[in-house]
Structure 1
Amino acid sequence: MNTSSPRAAARQFDAGQFRHALSQFATGVTVITTRLADGSFRGLTASSFNSVSLDPPLVLWSLGEAANSMPVFSGNSHYVINVLAADQAELAERFSRRGDDPFANVEYELSRTGQPILKGVSAWFECHNRSRYPEGDHVIFVGEVENCAASPQTALIFHGGRFGSTPIPVK
């Protein structure tokens, strides 16, 4: 069943208005991590994370098509989505910068498939890289969750261009 229209109506806003409107939606903050064939790690900060399905267990996140890490995440079979805790804003900033190794002096453990799971996160999802869908200037990654865990820590959120925390801790 195709429910899409043939074409969208003409836009009545500019890119700045769109970005500002998007900033009003509070999102969780994640760091997506993976291990390369040579044993090195890569990671990036992403707030575009969402559940897709409970059966099978599917989640999604997106990455800009022009991102330097696109070949890494497109080509690897597995990755971990680390949901950052309220006290981990520095990790979000660290994994969003280019240059220095973001894993330097960061505690992590390895998942069953050898992917880095950051210590102290609110939750993590070890995913098989199931499918990818190009849309606009991003690629949507759908991961099938093979393992996951959660802690009762308050999650880090991003809203209005700033980091904060959720008002209600998870039990």
Structure 2
Amino acid sequence: MIRDTHGPVVCATLKGNNTPNSFQEYTMSATSMIDPRDLRHAFGRFGTGVTVVTTTSGDGQAHGATVSAFTSVSLDPPLAQVTLMRSSKLATFVKDRPFAINVMSMGQLGTCLHFAGKPMKGGPAWGRSATGVPVLAGNAATLECRPWRIYDGGDHLIVVGEVEHLEITPLDPLIFFGGKFHHLGRLVDGTPWEQCGDGHEAGWITGAAAFGRLSAAV
């Protein structure tokens, strides 16, 4: 079982047939007992990069917000995902407008804070766009997207965009971990990781089979 460090047991390992329905019931009952502050802290233990998502408002003005919930989705078609607060202006704007995912570099802390609600003197530096969507200057990478799908995500919206243009620079990314900003740390393994982590070529089937045998033996 899993025990909450602040009190009672919050969930227990399912016994018997772990069907999708039983797992759904398990997660729903456990969720109602989770303190949102603990959940936020747990999410914060996952180190991420930082992005600023930019688009235009109804009157054509550039608008943006700092977002750490960004992930790759697909190479074919080229899809990327950001998760936005449902109540935010940006969530309303990107539903039917192109947007850019600006991956923040180490030199863009001020820009990152600007779009998080701490305005910088003189405002951010804007760059050139290939598709007409507002983009920032000095990014580690830039993905210019058009809306592809939008999904319900509770108090957030899950926005998937199709990448129409991208730019990559050699600048180190800005890192966010534990509610604070960090620089890129030392290299742990010099081997490039260019394969799909769950593809056949990566040995996932062998690893999964070994995991199954181990689980059965416990």
Which residue of 1 is the match for residue 171 of structure 2? Answer: 153
2:155 to 119, 137, 143: 137
Q: Specify the code of the residue in structure 2 equivalent to 1:167.
A: G
Structure 2, unaligned stretches of length 5 or more? Answer: 1-18, 193-218
Which whole-Å deviations, capped at 9, do the CAs of 1:94-142 have from their partners, x for residues lacking one? Answer: 10118x6x79532212312211221111000000111100121111000
SS at match of 1:167: coil
Hey, what does 1:32 align to over in structure 2? 53
Q: Quick one: distance in 1 between partners of 2:94 and 2:56? A: 10
Partner of 1:115: 133
Matched residue pairs, number?
A: 165
CA distance, structure 2, for counterparts of residue 139 and residue 103 of structure 1? 31
**Residue 160 of structure 1: how far off its partner (Å):** 0.7
SS in 1 for 2:89: coil
Higher radius of gyration, 1 or 2: 2
Amino acid at match of 1:95: F
Q: Please report how far the alpha carbon of residue 9 of structure 1 lies from its aligned counterpart in structure 2 after TM superposition.
A: 4.2
Deviation at 1:67, TM superposition (A): 1.4
Structure 2: distance between partners of 1:35 and 1:104: 20
Which residue in 1 is equivalent to 2:112?
Answer: 92
Give the match for residue 83 of structure 1: 103
2:62 is aligned with 1:62:
no
CA distance in 1 between counterparts of 2:51 and 2:138 reads 12
Provide TM-score, normalisation by structure 2: 0.69
1:35–1:114 Cα contact (<8 Å) kept: no
Q: TM-score, normalised by structure 1?
A: 0.86
Partners in 1 of 2:123 and 2:178 — Cα distance? Answer: 29
User: Does the alignment pair 1:10 with 2:29?
Assistant: yes
Identity %: 36
Q: Which residue pairs with 1:50 in the alignment?
A: 71
Do the aligned partners of 2:114 and 2:124 also contact (CA within 8 Å) in 1?
no
Q: As a proportion of its length, which structure holds more strand?
A: 1
Q: Which has the higher contact order (CA 8 A, sep 6+)?
A: 1
Distance 2:20 2:81 in 1: 21
Q: Whole-Å Cα distance in 1 between the matches of residues 186 and 167 of structure 2?
A: 19
Q: 1 CA distance for matches of 2:186 and 2:133? A: 30
When the two chains are superposed, the root-mean-square deviation of aligned CA atoms in Å is 2.3
| Partner in structure 2 of residue 72 of structure 1 | 93
Specify the SS of the correspondent of 1:106.
coil
- Does the CA contact (< 8 Å) of 1:85 and 1:121 recur in 2? yes
- Structure 1 residue ranges without an equivalent (≥5): none
